[in-house]
Structure 1
Amino acid sequence: MTNNPLISVIVPVYNVERYLNKCLQSIIHQSYDNLEIILIDDGSTDNSGKIIDEYGKRDSRIKIVHQENGGLSKARNAGLNMMRGDYVTFIDSDDFVTLDYVSYLFRLIENTRFQAKLSLCSLMNHYSRTNKDINCGNGLEKVISGKKCIEMMCYHDLVDTCAYAKLAKRELYDTVRFPNGKLFEDIGTTYQLFLQCDKVACGFKAKYYYNIRSNSIVTSKFSESKLELLEMTDQMAGEVKDIYPELSNSVLRRQVYARFSTLNQTLDTPNVSHIQQRLIKFIQGHKRNVLNDPKTPKRDHVAYALLSLGLPFYKIGWHLYEKLKGIK
């Protein structure tokens, strides 16, 4: 495959020794072999750094950086700053991908005669505690506009905010970097890629296995730093509305969803009633607009109905949903 362009695979690594071998094996055995594999050790205190050093000795495509811990954004940005590939994809080091992950994403772009600068695939959500997999795709392939991708992303309609499970022309990142020191950095950057794209090559087949574990950023216990999801979402909403005012309903739905998501994480946390009240005020303040939007997902209607019964009933409903989905 030497005639194919060089593709950079950027993998931030931090204290994931339990999952790292599976991730790296899925990368080095890709059917698309013209890869530059950049492993950024973000100050790991377990054996992750040693593991990637061993892989680096065995595969000349691997480049390794060891840096002081600075967070996921800083690690991804370090990879972007040193990459040489014509295209770039991100893989988190506790996840893994199918062996045709890169070739599939590249083929999607190739099929547009390279008019699309960005392609994406769907996730397979893997719940590590229950070993349950949930396919987030529908198997279809289509080319849609970046604007449409933003709309679908806001409604959780096949398109995800994640930085991974996408292949981007390197020029899309010329003016885009992940916000250092922030959680939920994906929601603050992915829309910026879509804004630059007239066409996005979408393949809604699950090629990326997203490992949902109990101590990840998303599922770990609530802290006030998780309110950064609201900051990132509101930033996205403001910029999108400035460019596409007709997407106001879409981004509002995403803003309300961000409050519901944050509220869910506070349900078992003591002494956060002031935060919960603020979240509920925003949610209820936009209830009419969200529920009158025909594109609003059914789950939002259920969430509003439960919340109308009071927070204790909402908490019971949410924990039942988690149990049914295999989250807990």
Structure 2
Amino acid sequence: MDKPLISVILPVYNVEKYLSECMTSLFDQTYENLEFVMVDDGSTNKECSKMCDEFLKKDKRVVVFHKENGGLSDARNYGIKKAKGQYVTCVDPDDIVDKDYVEYLYFLVEKYHCKMSICQHRVHYDNGNVKNLGSKGDERMSNKHCLERMLYHDVIDTSAWAKLYRKDLFDDVEYPKGKLFEDIGTTYALMLKCDDVAVGYEAKYTYNFHNNSIVNGTFKMNKLDMIEMTDKMASDVLCVYPDLREAVLRRQVYSRLSTLNQMLNADGQAVNQKRVEIIKYVKQNSKEVAKNPKTPKRDKIAFILLKIGYPLYRFCWLQHQKKIMNN
């Protein structure tokens, strides 16, 4: 039986520096029945738009759409709607994938008869270091178990990439337009529409972590979207699985800690007010979350530091960031 068409969705915006390497890794896929849906989201650099059209000439599987800038979510939604494949997978055009990336994800959905599959990834830092998060094996996991592990950052993550989805999962699910951390507001909803999820533990995707990324860049107030997206996920998950309350609360507290860490060098009345609100929320819930044996040790250390005082917390986290960047 012929293998189904799989659409690779690539939202493109001013990534001319990385695009060639990404597309080369996609053209080399062992799974051949593919279409590459390149959505040029109003790139301001003409070279980037030109590169998309050049790839159209290089491989007949490429389709290109040029549109006005609407942001990452809008570009992904647009590409998914235009996709002709029975399955879709999202790839960020500044990342690269292994030759058997698609083959592996499709093998998993076929093996376990699931609508969604997941693989692991590597993190490639600007200094050349690589952190491989993969291991051996695979399994079928209930959507509830998958959600719980995702809430605890236990192997399963919220990223849009490194996953294969049956396209009809998106019939009533879209990435939230105009929001950062849009994957937090979407991946869980797709999981909820699956009875089971096929989870592979091998790393087939390389995520390039840039020092100017959302997490590591200058703080802007729209980075508070992480809290909004997480709280929406929490509310929806609890409607279906109220017994996941501990996992949900842990994730809500984590979203505040993560946002607080992005605000360490920010100042101003609005920022300071939000910082006070975040610290208050964490302190109010830290005792309950700390009792949870599945809460990561790092979170528990953060609770202790905040209890002593924010200045100490800030100092320790800045030192931790320097250590990560230097290693």
Matched, 1:30 2:29: yes
Alpha-carbon displacement from aligned partner over 1:155-199 (angstroms, at most 9, x marks no partner): 000000011100011111111111111111101110011111111
Matches within 5 A, 1:268-279: 268-271=265-268, 272-279=271-278
Q: 2-side partners of 1:327 and 1:8: how far apart?
A: 38
Alpha-carbon displacement from aligned partner over 1:199-238 (angstroms, at most 9, x marks no partner): 1110111111111112222322111111111111100000
Question: Equivalent of 2:176, from 163, 176, 179?
Answer: 179
Matched, 1:170 2:167: yes
Structure 1 residue 39 displacement after superposition: 0.3
Matches within 5 A, 1:190-269: 190-269=187-266
Matched, 1:63 2:66: no
Counterpart position of 2:91? 91
Q: Secondary structure at the match of 1:121?
A: strand
Q: Secondary structure at the match of 2:18?
A: helix
Q: Secondary structure at the match of 1:18?
A: coil
Aligned residues: 324
Q: 1-side partners of 2:322 and 2:9: how far apart?
A: 34
Alpha-carbon displacement from aligned partner over 1:93-132 (angstroms, at most 9, x marks no partner): 11111111000111111212xx21100011211112x111
Q: Secondary structure at the match of 2:119?
A: strand
CA contact (8 A) 1:183 1:225 kept: yes
Question: Per the alignment, do residues 185 and 107 of structure 1 end up closer, same or farther by CA in structure 2, a change over 3 Å counting?
Answer: same
Structure 1 residue 327 displacement after superposition: 7.1
CA contact (8 A) 1:132 1:326 kept: no
Counterpart position of 2:38? 39
Counterpart position of 2:114? 116
Residue segments in structure 1 that go unaligned for 5+ positions in a row? none
Q: How does the TM-score come out when normalised to structure 2?
A: 0.96
Structure 1 residue 323 displacement after superposition: 2.6
Q: Secondary structure at the match of 1:131?
A: coil
Moved over 4 A (4+): none
Q: 2-side partners of 1:281 and 1:135: how far apart?
A: 36
Matched, 1:323 2:322: yes
Q: 1-side partners of 2:133 and 2:68: how far apart?
A: 35
Give the root-mean-square deviation of aligned CA atoms: 1.3
Indicate the larger mover: 281-290 or 211-220. 211-220
Q: Secondary structure at the match of 2:30?
A: coil
What is the identity percentage for the equivalent residue pairs of Structure 1 and Structure 2? 48
> 1:300 corresponds to which letter in structure 2?
D
Q: How does the TM-score come out when normalised to structure 1?
A: 0.96
Alpha-carbon displacement from aligned partner over 1:62-93 (angstroms, at most 9, x marks no partner): 00011111100000000111111010000011
Q: 2-side partners of 1:302 and 1:27: how far apart?
A: 41
Matched, 1:294 2:293: yes
